[in-house]
Each structure stands twice: as structure tokens, then as C-alpha cells.
Structure 1
Amino acid sequence: MNTNIDLSQLVECIGDAIVVVDAHEKIVLWNPAATRIFGYSEEEALGSTLDLIVPERQRHRHNEGCRKSMETGITRYGASLLKVPALHKSGSILSIAFTVGMLFDEHHKVNGIVAVIRDESERYAQEKVLKQRIADLETHVS
């Protein structure tokens, strides 16, 4: 197995956003895909909290979940895809899907959380149109 993979290059070139927050819930890693998806430059994002991209009405629930994961070292979203709305810098709402991983220090204490995020806005809009078409067809058949 070739172990000469440059992980920083992987983070830079991958098409999905990779966002890491530290134990204080501050963004410490924001890759180019995160900039493309959310509109914030790396400089704007680093040091901010995820309130930057979490819509106002989801913030309390999100922050509670994040704090609980930081305290316990456990997340329900390591293997399950979580689909939620997110906020673009322009103020528009995105539909995103992501998984979460817990990061630990050498003493197995949580020192961060990583999220791998995909913009599902286009797919979500197409799905919404299809669901409406099905509902319209079912109404006409009944």
C-alpha cells in the first residue's frame, strides 16, 4: 500500500466541503469546496463558529447536538447521512447532506469534529418538483 498520500492535497482537491471545528466549536479547517458551497473565504470562516452556515431557526438544536457530541465523544451521524438546510453567505438557503466524524487527542479527549458536506440543493429542488408532479397526477386520477 502506498502511504505517500499528501492529505493536505486531498483536502484541497476534493469536491465536498471539509469543515473542522475545534473543542471550542471554532472553525479551524475550511477547504476550497466549503468556500464554493457556502460563499465564505477561508479567511472569513476560520475562527468563526458554525453559526456562519447554520440557519437561525436550527442553531439551538445544532449547538446542543454539537455540545453533546463534544462532551460524550459520540455522534449519531458518523455513518448516517444527515440532510439539513444551511445558509450561504448571500443569505440564500442551501440543502446540504453530510456525515460527521469525531477527532480525539492522544488521551482520547475530543478535540474536534469534522464534517464532510455536499450541496444537495439542485437534487432537492428536482425531487420537490417530482413530488409535486406525482401529487398532481394522483389528484387527477382520484
Structure 2
Amino acid sequence: MPPDIDLKALVASVGDAVVVCDAQGAITLWNAAAERIFGYAQAEALGQSLDIIIPERLRKRHWDGYDKTMATGITRYGHDVLRVPAINKAGASLSIAFTVAMLFDADHKVTQIISVIRDDTARFNEERALRKRVAELEAQLAAASPAAG
């Protein structure tokens, strides 16, 4: 990386949320985009559990996966985009898409997980509306076809 790139400025200004957590899942970095997407100021989020953005019904599954990733140092979400529900400070539901990267110590033990998160709510809602419309049109077509009579 060229020496003239200011990583702090990059993380602060990028349009996607950058959230870093320690091995226990406590938030250690929360950029301005995370504030915008989730509604928590940096001071409110730092030191908190990721539970502040995970819907309660999904927490067990999240933490099972998180703990497995910490123990094994392996995740499939470094390359694949994961799309999941989330919640913001007001309790409103969001749809987020994210990838993760892991940071390791000298013994190759995971020390932190970095998530790059995008608010995918608008796209999710558009796709859901399109699927509903396609189902309606298919039902109309089936009802109008000669085989239906």
C-alpha cells in the first residue's frame, strides 16, 4: 500500500459501515457509516456486544457461528456476501449485506473480526415486491389457462 494512504481517514469516510470486534464480540471500531446505518453514535457502540444490531431471534445462531470462527480461524464470509436481518437503535428492521476479514496474532489465533456492512434494505424490499408480483401474475396466468378449466 502506498505510504500516503491514511487508513483512519479511509475507514472514517468510506460509505459502507466498518465494524471491528474483538474475540469476545465487543465492538472496538465503529465508523461514521455504521452510525448512519444503525443509529448508534461511536461512543455508544464502542465496547458493546454486537447484540445491539442482531435481532434477538438470531443471536444464538450468530454467536454459535462467531464462536466457531474464533476457535477455527475459518469463515466462508471473507469472500461470500452474507445477507441477514439486523436492527437499528430505534428497533427497526434492516436487511444488511456484509463480508468479514479476520486479524490473527503471531500464533495464528483470531484476535479481531472486521465486517464491511452495507444497508441492503431497499434492494431486499424491491426483490420481495417483485417476487410477490411474479407470483400474482403466475396465479393469474394459471387461472386463465385452458388446463385450469
TM-score range, shorter chain: over 0.9
3-state SS of paired residue (1:134):
helix
Larger Rg: 2
Q: State the identity as a percent.
A: 56
3-state SS of paired residue (1:36):
helix
Q: Give, as a single letter, the amino acid of the residue that structure 1 aligns with 2:136.
A: D
Pairwise CA RMSD: 1.0
Partner of 2:130: 130
Provide runs of 4+ in structure 1 moved above 2 Å. Answer: none
Q: Give, as a single letter, the amino acid of the residue that structure 2 aligns with 1:19.
A: V
TM-score after normalising by structure 2: 0.92
Partner of 1:112: 112
TM-score after normalising by structure 1: 0.97
Partner of 2:33: 33
Partner of 1:101: 101
Aligned mates of 1:104, 1:4 — CA distance in 2: 25
Aligned mates of 1:71, 1:134 — CA distance in 2: 44
Aligned mates of 2:65, 2:4 — CA distance in 1: 36
Q: How does 1:46-85 map to 2 (within 5 A)?
A: 46-85=46-85
Post-superposition CA distance 1:46-69 (Å, at most 9, x none): 000100100000000000111111
Partner of 1:21: 21
Deviation of 1:107 (Å): 2.8
Q: Give, as a single letter, the amino acid of the residue that structure 1 aligns with 2:49.
A: T
The unaligned stretches of length 5 or more in structure 1 are none
